[in-house]
């Protein structure tokens, strides 16, 4: 079934487009008609993020959608994590979103969209996920606040919080039993896919989603 090209003439920037979820999201937005910008950049570096947005603006002179997808998984009991683990998680998952939003805000067209990837792990308090979930909870608060700051221009800001998504990064270090247990947590009886997440992002980018803002949309197959 063909995808309706609701985003024809729009420009979208997707951070972390080299990962499986980012690539699926970029492809989905492109199929919806958007011109999609995916450029390699250290999202935790203010100068690199400035160059990223400046390059995109120089090329297109327009920005309608920002998808903050770049992130890093840092897991383990809090007592076992190092200072370096903490700095890495906060730098990418929180500072990176802050920097991208700061660069995007003055460039976004009225009626634009900001979508940030969070995680359904924030609602589960899983052992070993404390630091990761804390950074994701922080960007949910940032998103809700930014929704109020940009709402006067018709710009919506939301977070998408996936559950277990079947990617190489998700499967790394997990046993078959652990993966099966997570699969069974969903009433649908399966893991999510990158295209499931991309579809949710696409829905929030459609013109008809202009009344949805300041929300966290859990894309987890009913897991929690």
Domain assignment of residue 122, given as a range = 11-219
Provide the domain count of the chain.
1
Mean local confidence (pLDDT), 20-38: 96
What is the mean pLDDT of the segment spanning 85-105?
97
User: Is 129 an annotated catalytic residue?
Assistant: no
For tokens 């018709």, the residue is 154
Average pLDDT over the chain, rounded to whole? Answer: 94
Alpha-carbon distances, residue 40 vs 17, 51, 179 (angstroms):
8, 11, 31
Does 1 fall in a domain? no
Q: How many CA atoms lie within 13 A of 192 on its CB side?
A: 26
Task: Please state the rounded mean pLDDT for residues 50-56.
Answer: 96
DSSP state of 142: H
User: What digits encode the pLDDT tens for the residues 96-105?
Assistant: 999 999 999 9
Residue 82 pLDDT grade (very low, low, confident, very high; cuts 50, 70, 90): very high
State yes or no: pLDDT of 191 exceeds 90: yes
2 in a domain, yes or no? Answer: no
- For residue 199, being part of any structural domain is answered with yes
Q: Residue 2 has what pLDDT?
A: 63
What pairing do the DSSP bridges indicate for beta strands 156-162 and 113-117?
A: parallel
- The single residue of 53, 129, 132, 170 carrying the catalytic annotation is 132
Residues 6+ apart with CB under 8 A from 179: 164, 171, 191
> Against a cut of 0.75, is the pTM above it?
yes
Q: Is residue 74 part of a domain?
A: yes
What average pLDDT does range 189-204 have in this prediction? 96
Query: Is 47 inside any structural domain?
Result: yes
Does residue 83 carry a pLDDT above 70? Answer: yes
Per residue in 109-142, pLDDT (tens digit) is 999 999 999 999 898 888 889 999 999 999 999 9
Q: Is residue 111 part of a domain?
A: yes
DSSP assignments along 40-70, one per residue:
---TT-HHHHHHHHHHHHHHHS---EEEE--
38, 65 contact by CB (below 8 A):
no
CATH number where 53 lies? 3.40.50.720
Within-domain flag for 4: no
pLDDT reported for residue 224: 61
Average of per-residue pLDDT across 198-202: 97
Distance CA 159, CA 97 (A): 11
Residue 1 predicted with pLDDT over 60: no
Residue 5 lies in a domain: no
């Amino acid at each position: 079934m063909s995808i309706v090209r609701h985003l024809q003439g729009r420009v979208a920037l997707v951070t972390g487009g080299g990962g499986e979820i980012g690539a699926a999201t970029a492809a989905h937005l492109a199929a919806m008609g958007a011109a999609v910008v995916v450029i390699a950049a250290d999202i935790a570096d203010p100068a690199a993020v400035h160059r990223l947005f400046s390059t995109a603006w120089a090329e297109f002179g327009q920005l309608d959608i920002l998808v903050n997808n770049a992130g890093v998984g840092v897991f383990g009991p809090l007592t076992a994590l190092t200072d370096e683990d903490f700095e890495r998680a906060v730098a990418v998952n929180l500072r990176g979103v802050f920097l991208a939003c700061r660069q995007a805000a003055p460039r976004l067209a009225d009626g634009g969209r900001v979508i940030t990837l969070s995680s359904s792990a924030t609602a589960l308090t899983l052992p070993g996920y404390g630091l990761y979930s804390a950074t994701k909870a922080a960007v949910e608060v940032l998103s809700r606040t930014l929704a109020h700051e940009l709402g006067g221009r018709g710009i919506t800001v939301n977070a998408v919080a996936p559950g277990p998504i079947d990617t190489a990064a998700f499967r790394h270090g997990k046993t078959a039993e652990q993966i099966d247990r997570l699969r069974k947590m969903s009433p649908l009886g399966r893991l999510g896919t990158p295209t499931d997440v991309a579809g949710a992002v696409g829905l929030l980018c459609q013109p008809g989603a202009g009344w949805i803002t300041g929300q966290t949309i859990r894309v987890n197959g009913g897991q929690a």
